[in-house]
Structure 1
Amino acid sequence: MPVKENYRRRGVGQLLIKVLEDWAKQHGYQKIWLSTGAVMEKAHAFYACMGYTQTESIVITEDPHMEGVLFEKKLDKAAIALVARRYAVSIRVV
C-alpha cells in the first residue's frame, strides 16, 4: 500500500489501514495479513504501530535476495459486530 511521498506522515496511511480494517470487520474477517519488503524498516515500524505483528520472513519473488516480511493482525470479534452496526450501508473502497 504505497503512499505518495508528498502525503506521507499526514495520516493517509493510517486512514487507509483503518478503512481496510473496518471493511474487513464488516465483512466478517477475523484476521488481516500483509507483506512488505524485508529492508523497508519504516513500513515495519508503521505496521507495528497499527497493531500488526511480524510473523515470518518469506521470499516474495524468484530472486532469493528479495526477502519479504509477513505481518498479521487479529480483528476483535466485538469490534466486528460494532462496525457492522455502525455502517448501515456497505463500505466502498475505490
Structure 2
Amino acid sequence: METPNRSPSTLAEGRRSPERYSPTVMLMEDGRAEVLKITVPETGLAAGLKPGVMVRPVELFATPWARIFNGQLSDGVAYRAALLELVTVEAAQ
C-alpha cells in the first residue's frame, strides 16, 4: 500500500541503491585518531583512491542509531557522504 503525498528521503534512496561502498577512513585530530566507516555511492569514489591517501568527505552526514537485541542495547553513529575527494598535501596544510 502506497502512502499518498509522501516522497522518499535521500537516506531511503541511498539504502535502495546497490552501488554503495563503505571505505574505512581515519580521522586524525589533536593527537587522537578515530576510525569511521563512511557509506559513499560508487559515483562518489574519486579516481586514484587507494589505501593511505588523504581524503575529504563532502556533504558528510552523521545519523545516531540505537537498537535493542536480545535485551542488549547497541548504539553508534552511521556516516554517509556524497563523495570522497582526494586531498593534496599542500591543501591539507
Bigger CA radius of gyration: 2
Relative to the length of structure 2, the TM-score reads: 0.28
Q: Which has the higher strand share?
A: 2
Higher relative contact order (CA 8 A, sep 6+): 1
